[in-house]
Amino acid sequence: MPSRGRATVQVKDLLDATGLCIRLLTSDPDALDRTLRWTYTTDLPDPSRYIAGGELVITGLVWRRTPADSEVFVRAVAESGASALAAGEGLLGHIPADLIDACERHGLPLLAVPDNVSFGEVTEFLVGRVTGDRIASLNNSLVRHRQLLTAVADGRALDELALHTSRETGMACLIFTATGRRLVAEVVAFSDADVDTLTHAALSSERLPTTATLSDGEPYSIFGIGPSLAQRTTRWFLAVAGDRDNFPPAISDAFGQLAAIAALDRARREEGRLVRREIADQAVALIEADSTRPEALTRLRQAAVDPDRPLVVIRIVHSGKADLREMLRTVLSDTLTSFGGGCVGASTHGDIVGIVNTEDPYIAQTLRTRLSRLGSGIGRSRLLVGVSSEATGLTIDGALRSARHALDMSRQGTGPVTVTTGAQLTSAVSMLSALPDDVRRSFVEHVLAPLLEYDRRADAGLIDTLREFLATGGSWNRTADSLHVHLNTVRYRIKRVEELLGRDLGSTEDRLDIYLALQSIPRSSATGAA
């Protein structure tokens, strides 16, 4: 976190300094508590260009020719942000009343420096105090940093370090992800609405750090953790109670070091995730190819999913043109951490698949809440999510299809994030997808075997034509237009389909059987060209 480098020396320290005999000439009751960052000695009529703010400006009054000069000088010093003005009595033997009046008007504390005290003594005192405080602060910072690194090496959890920092500084903090997952124990309770506010500010702000005001009116400063060029939707964030512009250096240093430790912790977790990623990809590929193969279930177990226990399948895709599968993998892994982690891998269909052991009936609602927080960070594109009904390893293929159908249904939704569940699908397709895999394969074999075998050998495009014919509601013309073939070609192919299957596509019963069987096989399983 940035530190403004303010010193802790105040005006009252100058008044209490032994041997300086400095007096306060103005009546502002808050003057004694003003902080002095540094000194600047000048006799320029307008020294504003050389004042950065927070200084004690020291002057010998050489610039004063008439009483009106005091107004010009004081206004320039006050508007430049100086903390106080110290005027020497050596030139005139006193401090002119017009200077005192000008300082009163502009709210600038005015100090009188006796003629027997040199400006060098005043500067030496103030600089000595300021540098001493800075050295002490640096030493404390180094000690704290060493303690944090030692704690990490000893295996202390991140939430323990965050709690220690909050107690040490007296300021609440929260480390969270873009989906709103809390990564540390909360010193104070944050409602879901407060987390919504924090994540929205973190993702939508033009730059970090930024500030968000929670429901109780308290401002929180939000800082990014880790590389600033990383995607916001995959970053961690640190929220600290208060406005960062008012943080003393010690507070900024303490939470800056906590953020650095959190970045190290995140990098360590990411290394572990990369190791597990290949196993997860293999598990998803094997399950999608044939969930009954022993090696498929073995790989699933290696990916931290028990196929003998209840499980849920989640499929997520991004609607935009950019390839954001790594982002999707990260945010889905982050969300499923609350359910034990599970397996998150890339599908051959282009989406990301998550498989997790859970019997939580509210998993879809949790996904909806967490992923919806990403809405302000994905621009005009959309996140589409399909969640299967509860399944086991025996019906995992059906769960994959149920999640895929739910994902297809999500495309019809609106808004930046749409989550659809298998329970929302009440069609015959969704009911069929819930059947055990061997039952569904038997049904496909019974209905489509002759057609599948013929298309494999002849590459006649019958399967593709049949799919399109059913998708258009049996329209010959629309099917021909879609496949870019002659109308008679469509008629010939559909007639050949009926001959091979021994079915009548004019019959509702036969058409339904064929449609359901087609929906039960992946498109890649049937080859054929239009």
Place of tokens 């000088």: 73
Torsion, Cα of 326, 329, 330, 333 (10° steps): -170
Residues 6+ apart with CB under 8 A from 213: 197, 219, 220
d(CA 451, CA 431): 24
* Residues 305-315 pLDDT 10s: 998 899 999 99
> Which pLDDT score is estimated for 436?
65
CATH 3.40.1390.20 residue spans of the chain: 9-128
> Which pLDDT score is estimated for 145?
57
Place of tokens 């943080």: 247
* Residues 353-376 pLDDT 10s: 999 999 888 899 999 999 999 988
CATH 1.10.10.60 fits 437-525, yes or no: no
Quick one: pLDDT band at residue 155, thresholds 50, 70, 90? very low
**Under CATH, to which class is 149-266 assigned?**
alpha beta
> Which pLDDT score is estimated for 346?
92
Average pLDDT over residues 193-215: 94
In 3D space, the residue among 425, 231, 410, 234 whose CA is nearest the CA of residue 319 turns out to be 410
pLDDT-above-70 percentage for the chain: 88
Q: What are phi and psi of 43, to 5 degrees?
A: -130, 25
d(CA 521, CA 24): 89
Inform me whether the pLDDT recorded for 248 exceeds 70. Answer: yes
> Which pLDDT score is estimated for 408?
79
Residues 6+ apart with CB under 8 A from 230: none
Inform me whether the pLDDT recorded for 96 exceeds 80. Answer: yes
CATH 1.10.10.2840 residue spans of the chain: 437-525
User: How far, CA to CA in Å, does 339 sit from each of 156, 273, 332?
Assistant: 23, 16, 11
State the pTM of this model: 0.58
Region of 112 (left: φ > 0; alpha: ψ -120 to 50; beta: rest) is beta
> Which pLDDT score is estimated for 466?
92
- C-alpha gyration radius of the chain: 36
Inform me whether the pLDDT recorded for 218 exceeds 60. Answer: yes
Inform me whether the pLDDT recorded for 220 exceeds 70. Answer: yes
> Which pLDDT score is estimated for 252?
85
Quick one: pLDDT band at residue 2, thresholds 50, 70, 90? very low
* Residues 505-524 pLDDT 10s: 888 888 888 988 887 775 54
d(CA 515, CA 447): 10
Q: Which of 14-18, 133-137, 488-492 tops mean pLDDT? A: 488-492
CATH 3.30.70.270 residue spans of the chain: 273-433
* Residues 481-499 pLDDT 10s: 888 899 999 999 999 999 9
> Which pLDDT score is estimated for 149?
61
d(CA 218, CA 195): 13
* Residues 437-494 pLDDT 10s: 677 788 888 999 999 999 889 888 899 899 888 878 888 998 888 888 999 999 999 9
Query: For the purposes of burial, counting CB atoms within 10 Å of the CB of 361, is it exposed (0-12), middle (13-18) or buried (19 or more)?
Result: exposed
CATH 3.30.450 residue spans of the chain: 149-266
Inform me whether the pLDDT recorded for 124 exceeds 50. Answer: yes
d(CA 523, CA 530): 14
d(CA 529, CA 438): 28
d(CA 513, CA 438): 17
Q: Which of 73-82, 155-164, 421-430, 500-509 tops mean pLDDT? A: 73-82
> Which pLDDT score is estimated for 152?
56
Sign of CA dihedral 272, 274, 275, 279: positive
CATH 3.30.1490.20 fits 273-433, yes or no: no
Residues 6+ apart with CB under 8 A from 371: 179, 316, 331, 335, 383, 385, 417, 419
Instruction: Considering only residues 252 and 322, tell me which one the structure prediction assigns the higher pLDDT.
Output: 252
d(CA 193, CA 500): 60
Task: Provide the residue type at 146 as one letter.
Answer: R
Select from 3.10.150.10, 3.40.1390.20, 2.60.120.10, 3.30.450.70 the CATH code of 9-128.
3.40.1390.20
